[in-house]
A = this chain, B = another copy of it.
Amino acid sequence: MTGGGNYFEDFRAGQSLNHAPARTVSVGDAALYTALYGGRFAAQSSDEFARSLGLPSAPIDDLLVFHLVFGKTVPEVSLNAIANLGYAECRFLKPVFAGDTLGARSEVLGTRENSNRESGIVYVRSTGFNQRNEPVLSYARWVMVRKRAASAEAPPAQTPKLAAAVEAHDLVTDGELQLRAFDRHGTGSAAFFNDYSVGQRLDHGDAMTVEDAEHMMATRLYHNTARVHFNAHSEKQGRFGRRIVYGGHVISIARALSFNGLGNAWFVRGINAGRHVAPCFAGDTVYAWSEVLDKVDARGRDDLGYLRVRTVATKDRACWDFPYKSGSDAAYDPSVILDLDYWVLMPKA
């Protein structure tokens, strides 16, 4: 078989992985992203509004950029992955606009074989860059990857040190972005930076039922070729008996739902940690709620700040009582499928 991807024993710390081909993003991709998730954030929705922020046009949604870069990395990083275990140190570095072309590179940060010798954990840092070779996004992730055979020699164990969270002062906001002149009534939300408090919880209210056609169209749009998302025939024999929804699809649903309560959080600036607590399947209905974890002024600017937010997505369970962890072992509520800790930019009113 051709295009079989790397197995655990093929990785080495320090290795550089080139991902190809590059991918030009268009207004067509943006329209599909809207059709798939229904995002209503003003800056991505309206060219006119984006211009009032100093941008040339509506930027491509940050998470669409994330998925496109992630998708690029799949053939070399995670085609033989058993599970996508986590994200860290993710920062969005430059806005991306329709017409930009995204490429990606990864560096292997470390590897650690599992005790059963059938698989191991691979840590990579992936960087997306535009046609001017400017980095637009950088993040670390770790995945559990199969070995060809338990007997194959494993790479030396080396676990990288990854930060528990991105420091607020390391978040990057484009200098061209100016949040002074926009129409406060044009965003669909009346809550700005000063209206939020640490510890505040928000039930996002709405929910979306996932369909196979939708998550597959999304995942193909991202050039993500991981097999578990597309092949119902072979997945019948797999762990879950059916296709698994790409975890990023759940992230984007939760983010779109978060408009109810976080409607002015137009830009994701960093992802501190992300965990796909349980798999999502077609037919599941995704709900979400968020908690404000931290609030930090942006250095040298008085027009915006950063909110650190935890967004939790559940399946088939409303979030009015904020289901999360409980019990003496602090186990996740069985409904929880996503636990995402990230930074959003929030204008001051």
A-to-B contact residues, CB < 8 Å:
1-4, 18, 20-24, 26-32, 34-38, 40-42, 45-49, 58, 75, 99, 101, 103, 131, 185-188, 202-209, 211-214, 216-221, 223, 225, 227, 230-234, 243, 259-261, 263, 283, 285, 316, 318, 320
In the bound complex, do residue A32 and residue B32 qualify as a contact, i.e. CB atoms below 8 Å apart? yes
CB distance from A250 to the nearest CB of B (A): 15
Chain B residues near A42: list those with CB within 8 A: 20-22
In the bound complex, do residue B260 and residue A1 qualify as a contact, i.e. CB atoms below 8 Å apart? yes
In the bound complex, do residue A207 and residue B188 qualify as a contact, i.e. CB atoms below 8 Å apart? no
Chain B residues near A32: list those with CB within 8 A: 28, 31-32, 35
Q: How far is the CA of A29 from the CA of B30 in the complex (A)?
A: 9
In the bound complex, do residue A187 and residue B217 qualify as a contact, i.e. CB atoms below 8 Å apart? no
- Of B1, B206, B216, the contact of A214 (CB 8 Å cutoff): B216
Q: A35-B32, A221-B34 are in contact. Are A208 and B202 (CB under 8 A)?
A: no
CB distance from A233 to the nearest CB of B (A): 4
CB distance from A249 to the nearest CB of B (A): 13
Interface centre among A216, A259, A316 (most CB of B within 10 A): A216
From A242, which residue of chain B is reached at the shortest CB distance? B209
In the bound complex, do residue B259 and residue A3 qualify as a contact, i.e. CB atoms below 8 Å apart? yes
Chain B residues near A214: list those with CB within 8 A: 213, 216-217
5 sample A-B contacts, Cβ–Cβ < 8 Å, listed by A number = A20-B188, A21-B45, A38-B223, A206-B225, A209-B212
Chain B residues near A131: list those with CB within 8 A: 48
Chain B residues near A1: list those with CB within 8 A: 203-205, 260, 320
Interface centre among A3, A41, A205, A212 (most CB of B within 10 A): A3
- Of B20, B47, B213, the contact of A187 (CB 8 Å cutoff): B20
In the bound complex, do residue A38 and residue B220 qualify as a contact, i.e. CB atoms below 8 Å apart? yes
Q: A22-B186, A32-B35 are in contact. Are A101 and B213 (CB under 8 A)?
A: no
In the bound complex, do residue B21 and residue A186 qualify as a contact, i.e. CB atoms below 8 Å apart? yes
Q: A101-B48, A209-B230 are in contact. Are A26 and B30 (CB under 8 A)?
A: yes
Q: A31-B221, A221-B31 are in contact. Are A186 and B41 (CB under 8 A)?
A: no
Chain B residues near A218: list those with CB within 8 A: 35
Chain B residues near A47: list those with CB within 8 A: 24, 99, 101
From A285, which residue of chain B is reached at the shortest CB distance? B233
- Of B49, B185, B211, the contact of A212 (CB 8 Å cutoff): B211
In the bound complex, do residue A261 and residue B45 qualify as a contact, i.e. CB atoms below 8 Å apart? no
From A215, which residue of chain B is reached at the shortest CB distance? B213
In the bound complex, do residue B2 and residue A260 qualify as a contact, i.e. CB atoms below 8 Å apart? yes
5 more contacts with CB within 8 A, not counting A27-B27, A48-B101, A206-B227, are A24-B58, A31-B31, A209-B230, A209-B232, A234-B285
Q: A1-B260, A34-B221, A220-B36 are in contact. Are A209 and B231 (CB under 8 A)?
A: yes
Q: How far is the CA of A205 from the CA of B2 in the complex (A)?
A: 7
Q: A31-B31, A187-B20, A225-B38 are in contact. Are A3 and B261 (CB under 8 A)?
A: yes
From A37, which residue of chain B is reached at the shortest CB distance? B220
In the bound complex, do residue B318 and residue A234 qualify as a contact, i.e. CB atoms below 8 Å apart? yes
Chain B residues near A220: list those with CB within 8 A: 34-38
Chain B residues near A232: list those with CB within 8 A: 209, 283, 285
